[in-house]
């Protein structure tokens, strides 16, 4: 198993984050610094810094209603990091990001493979948001947002956008560019004053209180895994 896949499967962090750990010379296999293409075999001892990495036996899946000000990082050294905020008794990591100023649904898990699949935007996984901006929303704004907005050298994919009220709209994205909604609004002359994610695929925020978390239900996991399999095929 490749070293980044092994670390992710052990529930330490995502594959991408594991690759960064390797590049930063924080990973060893049997006492030797790992490289990104190294393979882990049975009996090998893998360490991140001084911590031995072992596969998790029990998988954990958490839905959190993240408040503003919490940072979606697994680095405990970052003030306001999401790991310390949740304070779960075993190691988990966030699936993707929700920027510090934003709030709402984020999934945390120790299941690296499923996290990797959720994060692969080419499968068209939906994420739904409620967004409030600093001025009156027009029909043109809704149309332009839905048609795709040019951000630098990239034009965003077409997406579903609808009115909620005079200053609030609903948007469903199938791609995950960094701070995408904020940049789309800025390009059209608007500023986001509140951004809340209310759904990731079939997982909904519902009435989960701000700052609280819950385990995903068996039904949610079943539907999530089935949706991933369908989209991959």
Q: Which residues are catalytic?
A: 99
For the range 72-78, what are the long-range contacts, defined as Cβ-Cβ under 8 Å and sequence gap of 24 or more?
A: 72/96, 72/97, 72/98, 72/99, 72/100, 72/106, 74/13, 74/17
**Phi, psi at residue 63, to the nearest 5°?**
-105, 125
- DSSP assignment of 66-120 equals EPTT-B--S-TTSTTBHHHHH--SS--EESS---TT-EEEEEEES-HHHHHHHH-
Give 53: exposed, middle or buried? Use CB within 10 Å, 0-12, 13-18, 19+.
buried
Closest listed residue to residue 84, CA positions, set 105, 101, 69: 69
Q: For residues 12 and 47, give the distance between their C-alpha atoms in angstroms, rounded to a whole number.
A: 11
Q: Which residue has the tokens 């893998």?
A: 46
Give the three-class secondary structure for 226: helix
Sequence-ordered list of residues with C-beta below 8 angstroms from that of 118, at least 6 positions apart, any chain: 95, 96, 107, 125, 200, 201, 224, 228
């Amino acid at each position: 198993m490749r070293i980044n896949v092994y670390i992710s499967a052990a529930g330490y962090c995502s594959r991408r984050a594991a690759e960064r750990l390797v590049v930063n010379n924080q990973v060893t296999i049997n006492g030797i610094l790992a490289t990104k293409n190294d393979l882990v075999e049975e009996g090998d001892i893998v360490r991140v810094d001084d911590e031995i990495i072992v596969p998790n036996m029990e998988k954990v899946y958490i839905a959190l209603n993240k408040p503003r000000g919490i940072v979606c990082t697994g680095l405990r050294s970052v003030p306001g990091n999401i790991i310390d905020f949740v304070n779960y008794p075993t190691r988990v990591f966030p699936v993707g990001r929700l920027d510090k100023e934003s709030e709402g649904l984020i999934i945390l898990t120790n299941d690296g493979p499923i996290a990797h699949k959720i994060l692969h935007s080419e499968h068209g996984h939906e994420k739904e948001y409620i967004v409030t901006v600093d001025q009156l929303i027009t029909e043109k704004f809704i149309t332009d947002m839905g048609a795709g907005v040019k951000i630098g050298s990239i034009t965003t994919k077409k997406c579903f956008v609808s009115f909620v009220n005079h200053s609030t709209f609903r948007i469903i994205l199938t791609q995950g560019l960094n701070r995408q909604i904020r940049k789309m609004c800025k390009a059209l002359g608007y500023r986001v004053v509140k951004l809340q994610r209310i759904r990731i695929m079939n997982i909904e925020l519902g009435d989960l209180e701000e700052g609280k978390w819950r385990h995903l239900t068996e039904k949610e996991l079943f539907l999530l895994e089935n949706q991933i399999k369908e989209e991959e095929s």
